[in-house]
Structure 1
Amino acid sequence: MYGHYDGLIFDMDGTILDTEPTHRKAWQTVLARYGLTFDERTVIGLNGSPSWRIAEVIIASHQSDLDPVALAQEKTTALKAMLFDTVRPLPLIEVVKAWKGKRPMAVGTGSEHAMAEALLQHLGLRDCFDAIVGADDVTRHKPEPETFLRCAELLKVEPARCVVFEDADFGIQAAKAAGMDFVDVRLL
């Protein structure tokens, strides 16, 4: 089905790994320390964004003077404490397994590079991917195309010859801006 592509690029959170509920729980835990909450629909709408960008939106909605980078780091620390016990592969991992060794594959994620490496290693999936591009590997995050363009570069595949698997609007916008086809996994 994807044989006419030379490279396959996968978002991670919510696409190949079931991490979204734990991300939300980590936000709830950290924000409760400051008496803050978040609108779940707003946060879901920011899926694919780095944590500091989500923190900026949450802070702005409360007119708080918290530092978004520090708040995002607190959330990442809380996430790390929870995630390894709860993370599970999603059904799309079967596509990854089917194409392993047949096409170069990358992960392009809004998570930090080290977190992506650790989660994939933890689940025994790291060797399926030729490259990982995390939020800290780029300066212009989804919906900008830099994450996916960097994946294509690392795979040594022309962007137009890649397909991106995504579960978030920002990621789909990034794939389009990179000149790549995409699969909206929410529709599968």
Structure 2
Amino acid sequence: MYDAYDGLIFDMDGTILDTEPTHRQAWRQVLAQHGMAFDEKALIGLNGSPTWRIAEFIVEQHQSDLDPHRLAAEKTSLFKSILFDVVKPLPLIEVVKAYKGRRPMAVGTGSEHAMAVALLQHLGLRDYFSAIVGADDVKRHKPEPDTFIRCAELIGVPPARCVVFEDADFGLQAARAAGMDAVDVRLL
């Protein structure tokens, strides 16, 4: 189905792993401790962004003087403590399995590199990917193309020969900006 491409790049959260409900749960719990809440639609619009950027948005919305990096660290810590018990692969993982050994594949995620590696190892999926690029591996994040361009470099495939699988508008914009075709997995 994707044989026309020389490299496959996958977003992680919400694309190959069902982590979105846990992200929302962690945000709800951490924000409640600070007497704040979030607009779920606004948060979904920020999918693919690094945690600190989402925290920055929430802090601005509440006109709080809370340090967004501290808030992001609290959320990430809670997220990690509950995620490993509940995370599971999404149906798109079948594409990953079908192309293992046939095409180089990478993960380009807004999550931290170490978190992505830990999750993929936990589920026995780490060896399917030649490269992982996390939010802490690039200076400019989705919707900028840097994450996916770095993935293409690491798997040794020109961007124009790659396809990106994404579930977020920022990620789809990043893929197009990188000169790659993109599959909106929300439409599959």
TM-score calculated relative to the size of structure 2: 1.00
Q: Provide the rounded CA distance (Å) in 2 between the counterparts of 1:73 and 1:155.
A: 30
Does residue 78 of the first structure (1) align with residue 78 of the second (2)?
yes
Q: Which amino acid aligns with 2:111?
A: S
1:25-80: CA deviations, max 9, x gaps? 00011111110000000000000000000001100110001111111011000000
Q: Could you say which residue in structure 2 is the equivalent of 1:107?
A: 107
Does residue 157 of the first structure (1) align with residue 146 of the second (2)?
no
Q: Provide the rounded CA distance (Å) in 1 between the counterparts of 2:141 and 2:69.
A: 15
Shift of 1:15: 0.1
Q: Could you say which residue in structure 2 is the equivalent of 1:36?
A: 36
TM-score calculated relative to the size of structure 1: 1.00
> How many equivalent pairs are there?
188
Does residue 49 of the first structure (1) align with residue 49 of the second (2)?
yes
Q: Could you say which residue in structure 1 is the equivalent of 2:119?
A: 119
Q: Which amino acid aligns with 1:16?
A: I
Equivalent position SS for 2:85 = helix
Equivalent position SS for 2:163 = strand
Identity of aligned residues (%): 78
Q: Provide the rounded CA distance (Å) in 2 between the counterparts of 1:73 and 1:104.
A: 33
Task: Give every structure 1 segment of 4 or more consecutive aligned residues whose post-TM-superposition deviation is greater than 4 Å.
Answer: none
Q: Provide the rounded CA distance (Å) in 1 between the counterparts of 2:29 and 2:81.
A: 11
Q: Provide the rounded CA distance (Å) in 2 between the counterparts of 1:169 and 1:122.
A: 28
Structure 2 alignment gaps of length 5 or more: none
* Cα-Cα RMSD: 0.4
